[in-house]
Structures are given as structure tokens and as C-alpha cells.
A and B are shown apart, each in its own frame.
Chain A
Amino acid sequence: MKRLALLLITLTLAACSPRALEPRFIADGAPESLADWGMVGVRDGRLTLAEGVTPYELNTPLFTDYAGKLRTVWMPKGQAANSTPDVAFDFPVGTVVTKTFFYPKGPDGSVTPGDDLGLSETGEGLDLSKIRLIETRILVRRAAGWAAFPYVWNEDQTKATLKRIGQPISLTLKRPGRSDAFIYQVPNVNQCAGCHATDHAAKALLPIGLKSRHLDREVTVAGARFNQLDRLVQIGYLRGLQTTGRVRAPDWRDETASLDGRARAWLDINCGHCHSPKGPADTSGLYLDAATPMGPSLGLCKPPVAAGQGTGGFVHGIEPGRPDQSILIFRTGSTDPGAMMPELGRSLFHDEGLDLLRRWIAAMPPGCR
């Protein structure tokens, strides 16, 4: 009897198994279902990528409450992006970028950190017996510019539905020796601009990770090892790639890279989209993007401008030699919405990133005079 039931279920599933994924560019409107885009979808218990939907990862990624991220890019046939040395690649109309946020399943409905999973584990899709999907964000290049849509996965993990107003999701993250209940915040559409409108005056959304220095990286997918930029050229997605003199962002986890390089890479990807001379946080005079040299603009001995209670009682952004008297450490380590940085995209703080920043500041010669 049990066997029959199982068989029936299997048959039923097979019968309504969705057709093959067909990626498509949707030129306007706000599609209600992630399935409408045909980029990623659940097939046979796996989150599967459609043909041509190419996964990528970054040398140093943004921290989002220890979520794992599966990023993809797709372009219509015959289209390619133009490579640019410093800014996001110039993508053609029709480009669709996806980012799926997920966690490995832990005991009793909890989740565990997924941020250390790379393309070797995720590049061929995600096994839903082991993974819980949270949301998939679409960033699409339309004629008028980039547009962003957040889709939230249902509890059954069968479909993701547009949630333009965002959604708080209660999760418990288990790590060795600790358990943290927290609210994962799916951003609303306006909040997407909070990070992706990197030029605050122009207000246009732009991809953040799809830059040469973040993508220049050797990865392994399905047992094959290659450089991501070379692969994008090979498959016809990228034109005009610099072959010499490329600047590569350090991997913040790479113990062989310099402490300074790793800390700056972490700050650049986590803070630099707002804290840049053109970003929304230029009001603070604190610039944490990769291009800003060491000095007051990077926070060194800098008194805050409008931090309010976010100073944590400290007087300088970076108090050299004294990480735990630095506003930078206080705010990146805070979970109080009135003090924490970044302002959006996390409810937990990044222990390992914080540890890196602490070591970086501790190594600076003390004193501001």
C-alpha cells in the first residue's frame, strides 16, 4: 500500500513535471512568477539552470546573513557585454542576471551557513533535499535601464512569487556551538536601489558584482577549471576583455593575500556601493570603495559627520591600532537598525569579516596626531 502511494505520487509528479526551462527576456511589466523568466527552476528536486544561464561567483562577495548565493547571467542569442576596466560591464538590453539566496538545511527546521559554498558545489544547481531556497532576485537590462524584482520561494520550494514590497522571513541559523534566531529581510523594490543605485544623483540601477576585478577568478564547475572572464569571452557573452594589466580584487578568505588587500576587498564589496564619492553615503565623507586611498576619507582618524548614536561612543572611523575603539568596527558589528552598517541586507553580523577588519586595524600604527 505504502509502495503504491509512493508510486502514485511519483507518477503524479512526473505527469505535471514542468517543461524544459526556456530563458526569455521580458521587456516590460513585472512578471508575477520567477518561472516566467525561465532562467532557473525546480526540476527533479533540484534548482536547475536553463541552458545558457551561466553561473558565476565573485572574488569577495557581499555578506547577507550567511546565505549562500547562486548567481547567473544570461543574454539573448548573439548579444554580448562590452568589457570595461573599472565599472560594471556594459550589458546589452535583454541581459538577465539572477541571484538565488539559499541555506543548507540544518536540524529541526534550522539553516546553516551557505556563504562558503562556491561554484564547485553550486554551479550545476542545488539539491533541494539539502538546501532551502529563500529568494531569487532578477536584475534585468531593459531599454530604459536596469530593473530589479525580488521573488520569494514558497515553503514547498516549488515556485517563487514576486514580492515587490519585500518580506521578513524568520530563520534560525545554526553554527557550531551556537544558534541564532533572526529575521531575514527580503528587500522591497525601492530598497534594491539602496545598493544598486551606485550613482545616487543619476539614480540608475547597476549590477555591482559584474565587474572585471570581481569576476577575474579561477573556478571549478562540473570538474572543469577555468577563468571566469575567459569563459565569458568563450561563450560569446563578453567582448573586449583586457588581456594584460587587469586588476583583480583579492579574495577576502585568501590567507596568502595581504591583510590590507583582503580588508579593502571586504569593505569595497560590502560598503563601497554606498560609501563612494558618488554613492548615497557620500554625505558622510567616508569612502570605502577600492579606489579611495588610505587617509581620512577611508575613515583613518576621521571624526564622524552625522553618525548620531551610531558612533557607539567612539570618536574616529578608524582608530589605528585600536579596532575596538573604531566606529567602523562598532557599526559593522552592530545589529541595531539605528547604528548598523550596512543599513540593509543583513540582520546578523559577519564574524569572520569583522575579525579580518579587526586584524587590519590592529596592525596600523596607533595615534592620530
Chain B
Amino acid sequence: MGQGWNRALSALTLTGALALAACGPGGGSAAKPNTTYQETLIQQLIDAKPGDVITIPAGVYAIDRGLSLDIDGVTIKGAGMDKTILTFKGQAAGAEGLLVNASNFTIEDLAIEDAKGDALKVNEGENIVIRRVRTEWTGGPKTSNGAYGIYPVQVRNLLIEESVAIGASDAGIYVGQSDNVVVRRNRAEFNVAGIEIENTRNADVYDNLATNNTGGILVFNMPNLKVSGFATRIFRNRVEGNNTKNFGRKGSAVASVPAGTGVIINSNDQVEIFDNDIGGNDTSNVIISSYYSTGYMNQKGVEANFDAYPEAIFVHDNRFTPGGAKPDGLDLQALRVALFGVTGRLPDVLWDGYVDVKKFKGGKVDPALAVCVDNGAAQTLNADGPHKNKSPALAGESVRCRLAPLPAISVAAAGPVPAERKVPAPVKP
């Protein structure tokens, strides 16, 4: 795996170098970043007026402090995510590479490398477009890497497309506490979480490639926040081989994600997972779980009304290739061997089995809130979390049910879901 990473990295570096060499004198080189341009850029960000397009030419620019923008209606545009590179390797101040607090904001065609904290954070705003942006920690997956690559939070009407996120010590692409979101055609690799949708409502996540992360695509709800999330569709993605050892810092939410996770739902509701190619994830291709299983639940510090149960989860019509051969951690390994033998695999769907008895109807789970897996021969293992994993067992037909499909999300900048599926290719060695 380590070798795979090295190969992927050198391939990337090579591509970058070729692209730079091709773009001529303006292109700069990785060896000699431009150190004077940052003052021009900071000035432009301060002086920006609504409607302005800030163009950053091809080149490698060293930035030693956090950049910020708070004017609405501004576009930041580079010459390409391998041509215009802002490198924060020597960053001495600022918790982000670029921090934006503005609406009607578009950023496209550039890269943010090696930010000390988050690479690109958009905190509050409407109509946000992040397109062909690469955020990367170039030294490979490390706990000391910045937390988030592309990090919009508390935004409305968001499109993230054709972007690349590599090496985040938390999530490569993280959409938090937002509403009306499209995340498509992105590539997330070597992050702890590839793509994470958290406390967010109405999100479509499609045509993405999530590979070589610890967990590919996450849909989470966290406690103590003003809004809880629901209504996320995960479809037409490739979620393969997310087996990178968890390098998240202990205590962070994603540190609880087992390596080898394809798609994971935690405490979120109304999630539809369909028409994806999911495979080769060594713990499980799909995990459906509750905050109770994260180890973070406690009496004093988690608001009493937090709904920790994943409800109305619908997994159907995905193309699974085998996973679950080498689950992360002794407990899951023991579970695998006990139930499926030394050479056996955990099934495609792993569910911790938590259900909210307070919401039962007629002594049973309300069918509208059920966990439904109707995916051909794919099996679901109920790990029996509520009874300390005393009687884990295949759920069999008990989870075969269907829920009403969720409606498509409409974000003006995205338009309708195109008929043609366009998933980025993995970087080949």
C-alpha cells in the first residue's frame, strides 16, 4: 500500500512538472516559487468589488499567511489546477490557506498545497461554486497534515465539481451544516475521509471517485450543532480500495472510521445509496452506524436531544465487488473469523444494529425509518451493537425493504443530473 502511494505520488509530481514545463516563463517551477506575488494577491482580495474576477496566472506562489475574502460576488480563477499553485509550505500564520466569508463566490482552476490548517474554507454564504480546485498535502498521508481540503460550512446552494482532494488528515472534501448541495466528478484520495457530508440537508453526491482513503464517502450527523442533516443521495460513484490506515488525530470524528470503509453513514437520516461501484474496501463496502458506536457518546457533553440513530437508509442497485477481507481492528477481525471463517469476508453491508425504540410503531421499527438493503445478493451483517456485539448475525431478508426514492437536488450552477456518467479516472502508476 505504501508503495502504491509512492507510485501515485511520483506520477502526480511528474504530471505537475510536465504541465508546468509546458506553460512557459509564467509557469514558474516547484523549486523556485514566486514569493512576491502574495502581496499583490492579498491586496486584490482586500480591494475586490462585487463582480470582480481575480485572475492568478500560471505559476507556483509561496504564501506565508492565511488569505481571506469577505466581499460577495467575486470569482478567483487560476490557469489550471496543475498550473496555478498556491503553496503554503512556509505558512507562519492563519488557520486556513484561503478563508472565504461571502456569497456568490466562485473559485476555479487552481491548487492550494500544504496549508497548515484547512486548505479552502468557505464559512457562510450562498451560491458557492468550487470547480477544478486541487487541495493537496504533498508529503503523503500524515497526521500533521491540515484537517480539511475543500471545506464549505454553513452555505446554501453549493456546487463542488471536478476537483481533487489529496492528503487531508480529516476530510478531503467536507460539506458541513449546509443546504442544497451538489458534489460531483471529484477525485478524493489518501485522505482519512474522502468526501464527507455532515449535518447537511439535501445533497447529491455523484460521479465521484473516492479511492485510497481510510473511508471513501461519509454521511455523518454530529451532536451539539444547530442543525442536523438528512436527505443525501450517493449515486454513480466509484468507491474502491479505501484501505489507507486511519491517520486522523485521536479525538477527531473521523478517527473512529475503520480503515477499509467504502461508504459510511453515521447517525444521519434519509440517505439513499444506489447505482455506485463499491468494492475492495477491506472492512466493509458500506457501514451503517450510530454515534453510539464511535466511542464519543457521553452523558455530560452530548446534548440530550441528539438523535444518534441512522434512519431511513436505503441501499439498492449498487454494483459491489468483494470487500471485507481484512477488517480494521481486532474486534472486527475476530468477528469476521468467528462468523465467516479464517478466509471469509465480512459482507457488503455492516450495520451496528442501533434502532430507536422510542419511535417504534406496534412494537417494531417504523417502516418509514427502517434500514433497507435491497441490493441483489448483497448481505448485511447486524453487529448487534446495542448488546455489546453479543449476537452478531446476518440480517437476511429482515432488511430487504424499499423506501421512496429521494428527489434530485436542484442547484442552479449545476443544472440537472446529466444522463452521462463521468467519473474521474484514478491516477495510474
Using a CB–CB cutoff of 8 Å, the interface residues on chain A facing chain B are 164-166, 168, 183, 185, 188-191, 193-194, 197, 200-201, 203, 277, 280, 282-283, 285, 295-297, 300-317, 320, 327, 336-340, 343-344, 347, 367-369
Contact = CB atoms under 8 A, between A and B. Distances in A.
A337 B94 contact: yes
A306 B70 CA distance: 22
Contacts of A347: 92-93
16 contacts: A168-B93, A183-B92, A185-B65, A280-B124, A285-B223, A285-B224, A296-B223, A302-B301, A303-B224, A303-B301, A304-B251, A305-B176, A308-B117, A309-B252, A316-B298, A338-B115
Interface of B: 39, 42-43, 45-46, 64-66, 68-70, 91-95, 99, 101, 115-118, 123-124, 143-148, 151, 153-154, 168-170, 174, 176-177, 198, 222-226, 248-253, 296, 298-303
Contact of A308 (B101, B153, B169, B303): B169
Contact of B65 (A166, A307, A327, A369): A166
Contacts, number: 185
A338 B255 CA distance: 17
Contact of B93 (A311, A327, A337): A337
A330 to B, nearest CB: 9
Nearest to A345: B93
Contact of A296 (B198, B224, B226): B224
Given A188-B42, A282-B226, A343-B94, A303 B66 contact: no
A310 B148 CA distance: 11
Given A303-B224, A336-B116, A338-B95, 14 more contacts: A190-B68, A193-B68, A282-B154, A282-B226, A285-B224, A285-B225, A296-B224, A300-B300, A305-B224, A307-B251, A309-B146, A311-B251, A316-B301, A368-B300
A200 B153 contact: no
A31 to B, nearest CB: 16
A307 B250 CA distance: 11
Nearest 10 pairs between A and B by C-beta?
A: A308-B147, A301-B301, A311-B251, A343-B95, A338-B117, A285-B224, A301-B300, A338-B116, A308-B170, A337-B116
B176 A283 contact: yes
B169 A165 contact: no
Contacts of A203: 70, 101
B68 A314 contact: no
Counting chain B CB atoms within 10 Å of each CB, the highest count among A190, A194, A312 belongs to A190
Contacts of B118: 308
A314 B250 contact: yes
Contacts of B153: 283, 306
B104 to A, nearest CB: 14
B65 to A, nearest CB: 7
A309 B144 contact: yes
B247 to A, nearest CB: 10
Contacts of B147: 306-310, 338
A165 B63 CA distance: 13
Nearest to A317: B301
Nearest to A201: B124
A296 B95 contact: no
B271 to A, nearest CB: 19
A310 B248 CA distance: 10
A369 B143 CA distance: 29
Contact of A304 (B39, B154, B198, B253): B253
Given A296-B302, A316-B301, A185 B253 contact: no
Contacts of B92: 168, 183, 185, 337, 347
B213 to A, nearest CB: 15
A221 B169 CA distance: 52
